Amino acid sequence: MECTNNEATKLLTDVVSVLDNGSACMAQFEALLEQLQYRLRHECRRIKEIRKEMASPVTQTRLMDAYNRYRDLLAELDAKREAIDKLVGTIGPDHMLRTMKEDPTDLIGDTVEIAPSVADYRKDLPLWEAMKQILIDAQEMRENELLLFLSYLGFRTSPAAIQSALRTHQETFKVRNEGRKKSISLRTRRA
């Protein structure tokens, strides 16, 4: 990665600025991680409810007459699985064990597939999807905060990679310039 002196100075200034607020930043990161964990539990709870409804003999009989409802449930189940895959990939292997241990309902452990591994979820997750999952809960972050939070979650990335994701997925992300700093949010709030 090659950058000019001005870019390097800007990046170092941003990092020092964030490090000056170190404990506040860590507290924000922990709160955001907790939001991601809560949403993962919610998605797992819904999968459990869907599976229970689909397994019920009464439901199966009723759904024979309502085939479209069954197809809708399958579609929702697939969408929830995809959302869970993205959340697990975003939370990543460094925080997933803790997330599962801290889940008092054990919904996550009962729902998240053991194979593939959390590392596989991470490997298959594009950077822009992780950014999207984070911004669903954070709503808006400065570019350097997003970079630091991604690093906190164990992603190896750079400002250039984030900028590339923003350029490539302009339909997903909204960038607002505030002087030298960029604030990033989602254009829509869909998982």
CATH number for position 170:
1.10.10.10
For residue 14, being part of any structural domain is answered with no
CB 73 within 8 A of CB 7: no
- Of 77, 109, 125, the last residue of a domain is 125
The structure tokens 């170190």 sit at 22
Residues 26 and 110 in one domain: yes
- Of 125, 148, 167, the last residue of a domain is 125
For residue 104, being part of any structural domain is answered with yes
Region 129-147 average pLDDT: 95
Residues 47 and 89 in one domain: yes
For residue 67, being part of any structural domain is answered with yes
Residues 41 and 83 in one domain: yes
Flag whether pLDDT at 1 surpasses 50: no
- Of 125, 148, 177, the last residue of a domain is 125
For residue 108, being part of any structural domain is answered with yes
Residues 32 and 117 in one domain: yes
pLDDT at site 110 = 86
Residues 79 and 133 in one domain: no
pLDDT at site 153 = 92
Residues 112 and 173 in one domain: no
Over residues 47-87, the pLDDT tens digits come to 999 998 888 888 777 767 778 878 889 999 999 999 998 99
For residue 177, being part of any structural domain is answered with yes
CA 128/CA 171 separation, integer angstroms: 12
Residues 121 and 177 in one domain: no
Cα 87 from chain centroid?
4
For residue 75, being part of any structural domain is answered with yes
pTM: 0.62
| Cβ partners under 8 Å of residue 172, min gap 6 | 128, 132, 186, 187, 188
Flag whether pLDDT at 178 surpasses 90: no
Residues 121 and 189 in one domain: no
pLDDT at site 152 = 92
Flag whether pLDDT at 129 surpasses 90: yes
Residues 106 and 133 in one domain: no
Which domain covers residue 163, as residue numbers?
127-191
| Cβ partners under 8 Å of residue 60, min gap 6 | 54
Residues 133 and 98 in one domain: no
For residue 10, being part of any structural domain is answered with no
Number of domain units in the chain: 2
**Which of 88, 95, 92, 101 is closest to 47 using CA atoms?**
88
